Amino acid sequence: AQTVTQSQPEMSVQEAETVTLSCTYDTSENNYYLFWYKQPPSRQMILVIRQEAYKQQNATENRFSVNFQKAAKSFSLKISDSQLGDTAMYFCAFMKHVGGPVRSSNTGKLIFGQGTTLQVKP
Amino acid sequence: NAGVTQTPKFQVLKTGQSMTLQCAQDMNHNSMYWYRQDPGMGLRLIYYSASEGTTDKGEVPNGYNVSRLNKREFSLRLESAAPSQTSVYFCASTRRGVRGAFTDTQYFGPGTRLTVL
């Protein structure tokens, strides 16, 4: 079974600085996807960034980038130029890639880590 | 385009009462999911529907039932609510890509905060 671990329950960063959130996962699969979701106080789950395991190049989305280390099973999120609106809980998530016809094993379900609460200070 | 909608936003129940949480999506997605979120934990999958007409148990299905009413709607029912079911419930949906592969992002509703006294 796959597991996702976020070892930093809480972090803080000064506005405009850079912060890195850690995530490790355990899987025997070779083909999968990794995600970072943001959950602000509104509770809405918002996709920040995603990474396909078969791609060696690290994904980037504006101020957000990842450091994907497949052999080490590590998937960290770097937030550059932190803004007050980045204050939220961040979840790392894993999804096994399964293609083919509809079967009970072909779920597309996400496995989440415990989350990291990030506070951006003015 | 409203995305994924959930009703109600808040609900308080007494132990033993029943209720149904409603979820609908207007993105023509094939697959839908119900998660619960408890303090200090990530989201855990309760039930999912890989496609219209199919439903399957996730990680924590006990005490819940689901119905995939049509392609748009996926409801979660608590037959006899217990305090352990106090949680925030999220519905999500995703499309299936080429040859049925799950390649796309899951989109989440705003959540329902449920308290069972």
| pLDDT, tens digit, 9 for 90 and up, residues A23-71 | 999 999 888 889 999 999 888 899 999 998 888 899 999 999 999 999 9
Q: Residue B43: closest CA among chain A residues belongs to which residue?
A: A112
pLDDT confidence bin for B17, thresholds 50/70/90: very high
Chain B contacts of A35, Cβ < 8 Å? 105
Q: Which residues of B touch A49 (CB under 8 A)?
A: none
Question: Do A87 and A79 touch, CB atoms closer than 8 A?
Answer: no
Which residues of A fall within a CB distance of 8 Å from B101? Answer: 97-100
Q: What is the pLDDT of residues A65-114, one digit of tens each?
A: 999 999 999 999 999 999 999 999 999 999 887 655 444 344 578 899 99
CB-based contact (8 Å) between A32 and chain B? no
- Decide if B44 and A112 are in contact by the 8 Å CB cutoff: yes
Residue A113: which of B42, B105, B106 has the nearest Cβ? Answer: B42
Give the tens place of pLDDT for each residue, B78-109: 999 999 999 999 999 987 655 555 556 788 99
- Nearest-neighbour CA in chain A from B104: distance (Å): 9
pLDDT tops 60 at residue B71 = yes
Distance (Å, whole) CA B18 – CA B9: 16
B-chain CB neighbours of A9 within 8 Å are 40
- Report, as an integer, the average pLDDT of B2-11: 93
Nearest CA in chain A to B94: A108
Residue A104 is predicted with a pLDDT of 39
Cβ <8 Å between A91 and B94: no
Cβ neighbours, 10 Å, residue B114 = 20
Cβ atoms within 10 A of the Cβ of B14, count?
8
Q: Is residue A7 classed exposed, middle or buried when 0-12, 13-18 and 19+ CB atoms within 10 A define those classes?
A: exposed
Query: For residue B65, how many C-alpha atoms fall within 13 Å in the half-sphere facing its CB?
Result: 10
Q: Across-strand partners of B92?
A: B33, B108
Instruction: Check B111 against A115: CB less than 8 A apart.
Output: no
